[in-house]
A and B are shown apart, each in its own frame.
Chain A
Amino acid sequence: QKEVEQNSGPLSVPEGAIASLNCTYSDRVSQSFFWYRQYSGKSPELIMSIYSNGDKEDGRFTAQLNKASQYVSLLIRDSQPSDSATYLCAVGADTGGFKTIFGAGTRLFVKA
């Protein structure tokens, strides 16, 4: 059973701080990794994708991937109250057809 594990939170950080969200996965052959943001009552929205070891930065977001440790993280710098949402880690399953396994999500609260 391929799994993606996340701490459900809630994770609470003050405005302006760095929020660190973590995710582990079980399938060693996974090649694609994603972070989605889901506001309450809305659909998930893709915010970051990463395919190789190391860091990938996009604005205030940095995704980090370590395939040897089977670990993915998302850092949000200068956190804003508008970043308050559930963040879903997703891992591409190596089965063709682009199936993705989602974690349960981490709820983030950014306090003003």
Chain B
Amino acid sequence: DAGVIQSPRHEVTEMGQEVTLRCKPISGHNSLFWYRQTMMRGLELLIYFNNNVPIDDSGMPEDRFSAKMPNASFSTLKIQPSEPRDSAVYFCASTRDPYGYTFGSGTRLTVV
């Protein structure tokens, strides 16, 4: 099993640009989560999907953030336009049933 696969690993972009983060969950997992981690705020849940349907997006900071899960094997998190305060590590995680999560390696986003 390749685990949860995220891309890119690092992203440096200029303020105002669109950023798209990608995630491939573990096959057979039916829930997918997007988290953001910073030193100041720790792990913050942005949005999660169950069976490809968004269940709770209350953690999405503002309308600049959007997420999709078009099928069971792919999800994207998009930031448009990006701002320096969006700089963080973004993690995708997946799970099956009420078990713990498997996290991807994360995308380190820097907005300059």
Contacts and interface: CB of A to CB of B under 8 A. Distances in A.
Interface of A: 31-32, 34, 36, 42-46, 49, 51, 88, 90, 92, 95-105
B100 A46 contact: yes
Nearest to B97: A98
A100 B55 CA distance: 13
Q: How large is the interface on B (under 10, 10 to 19, 20 to 34, 35 or more residues)?
A: 20 to 34
Contacts of A102: 42-43, 45
B42 A45 contact: no
Given A32-B98, A43-B104, A102-B42, 4 more contacts: A96-B55, A97-B49, A99-B33, A102-B45
Contacts of A95: 56
Contacts of A101: 45
B3 to A, nearest CB: 10
A99 B98 contact: no
B89 to A, nearest CB: 8
A44 B103 contact: yes
Contact of B98 (A45, A98, A103, A104): A98
A112 B100 CA distance: 31
Instruction: Give the residue among A43, A51, A102, A105 with the most B Cβ atoms within 10 A.
Output: A43
B73 interface: no
B75 interface: no
Contact of A31 (B49, B56, B98): B98
Given A97-B55, A99-B55, A34 B100 contact: yes
8 contacts: A44-B43, A44-B91, A44-B101, A44-B103, A49-B99, A92-B98, A96-B50, A103-B42
Contacts of B101: 34, 36, 44, 46, 100
Given A88-B43, A99-B55, A102-B43, A45 B99 contact: no
